[in-house]
Chains A and B, each alone.
Chain A
């Protein structure tokens, strides 16, 4: 490109349009993070569903694989930050912030789920009462419920949709927008079903929100990378 070449008005406009377009399409997320989280959340949710459906228990909590996925995510983030430094867009730091807040919120929810049941039991016992399971047909004797475990996975499904939709809208990336909208539908469905099916809905949510968009991002990134060689 020559520096001092004088342009006609039409050429100027074409140049502006083409450069804005080049900047816009210049960076593609590698998709590795999305594939990673989509895979681990889908596996953890589906195995939990299988455990409840077929009445077996693994010797460890399968959701620990979600916590363990933080380690590879750190390496992925370091690698991706090297790519991102070539060009930083205005929305990048806002989107990164949303995913960090999402991660903290999920850990907060997990903490809530593990703590509040026992604390509630202790508090109501101190008040001198307890929660009982009473069979209306009298077929079984009453049982004390300790602790009372509310089904929280619908809330997790609702949470999965939030950062996905924000990212999809900010990046104008339709697979994430559709994934988030499907997930809102799954959230509504999960409110009306037995909690074991929430796990199945969670599996679908992880696949549509992250795994499939991740695969699309990965293919797009590789295509762009190969075209630059």
Chain B
């Protein structure tokens, strides 16, 4: 019996955001935008979805009079990411066999 892949993570942009954040302490919105090649609007929507399920924390502040948004993965997010990767490995293992 396979675990169902987390539908929140099993989408291209949200998985890309989580994969970027898994290895860093925190990253600026502009950094994520640059690395994912997503539009600001699309990225904002997906960041909000990840925030709503508690996978990431979003911190908004001002730096040199410009808004600065930083994102960091939460413990819930790490657990969900690990579970997603484990499930993925199971699927791939079966595919090989």
Which residues of A come within 8 Å of B, CB atoms? 1-7, 9-10, 12-13, 15-16, 18-20, 22-24, 26, 85-90, 92-93, 228
Q: A10-B92, A90-B24 are in contact. Are A23 and B35 (CB under 8 A)?
A: yes
In the bound assembly, the distance between CA atoms of A200 and B10 in angstroms comes to 59
- Contacts A2-B13, A5-B13, A9-B5 known; 18 new A-B pairs at CB < 8 A: A1-B13, A3-B12, A3-B46, A6-B10, A6-B11, A7-B10, A7-B15, A15-B19, A19-B19, A20-B22, A20-B23, A23-B21, A23-B35, A85-B68, A86-B31, A87-B27, A87-B28, A87-B31
With both chains docked as a complex, state the minimum distance between the C-beta of B44 and any C-beta of chain A, in angstroms: 11
Can you list 11 A-B contacts (CB < 8 A)?
Answer: A1-B38, A2-B13, A3-B12, A4-B11, A5-B13, A9-B5, A9-B92, A10-B92, A85-B28, A86-B27, A88-B27
Which chain B residues lie closer than 8 Å to A1 at the CB level? Answer: 12-13, 16, 36-38, 42
* Contact indicator A86/B36 (Cβ below 8 Å): no
Distance in angstroms from B87 CB to nearest chain A CB is: 9
Cβ of A5 and Cβ of B11 under 8 Å apart? yes
Closest B-chain residue to A91, C-beta based? Answer: B25
Contact A86 B28, CB 8 Å, known A3-B45, A19-B35:
yes
Give residues 22-75 of B contacting A (CB, 8 Å). Answer: 22-28, 30-31, 34-38, 42, 45-46, 63, 68
A92 cross-chain contacts in B, Cβ below 8 A? 25
Query: Contact partner of B16 among A6, A15, A87, A89, CB < 8 A?
Result: A15
A171 and B71 alpha carbons, distance in the complex (Å): 22
Query: Separation in Å of the A139 CB from the closest CB of chain B?
Result: 66
CB-based contact A19/B25 at 8 Å: no
B45 to chain A, nearest CB (A): 7
Size of B's binding interface in residues, CB under 8 A: 35
Closest beta carbon of chain A to B24's beta carbon, Å = 5
Whether A23 contacts B25 by the Cβ 8 Å rule is: no
Return chain A residues, CB-CB under 8 Å to B22.
20, 23
Known: A1-B12, A2-B13, A20-B22. A9 touches B35 (CB 8 A): no
A92 vs B63: C-alpha distance in the bound complex, in angstroms?
A: 21
A3 adjacent to B13 (CB under 8 Å)? yes
Chain B hits for A13, CB < 8 A: 88, 92
CA of A88 to CA of B28, assembled, Å: 9
Tell me how far the C-beta of B27 lies from the nearest C-beta in chain A, rounded to whole angstroms. 4
Task: State in angstroms the CA–CA spacing of A87 and B17 once bound together.
Answer: 13
Contact A26 B31 (CB under 8 A): yes
- Known A-B contacts A2-B13, A3-B12; the reply to A86 vs B30 at CB < 8 A is yes
Min CB gap A12→B, angstroms: 6
B26 & A87 in contact (Cβ 8 Å cutoff): yes
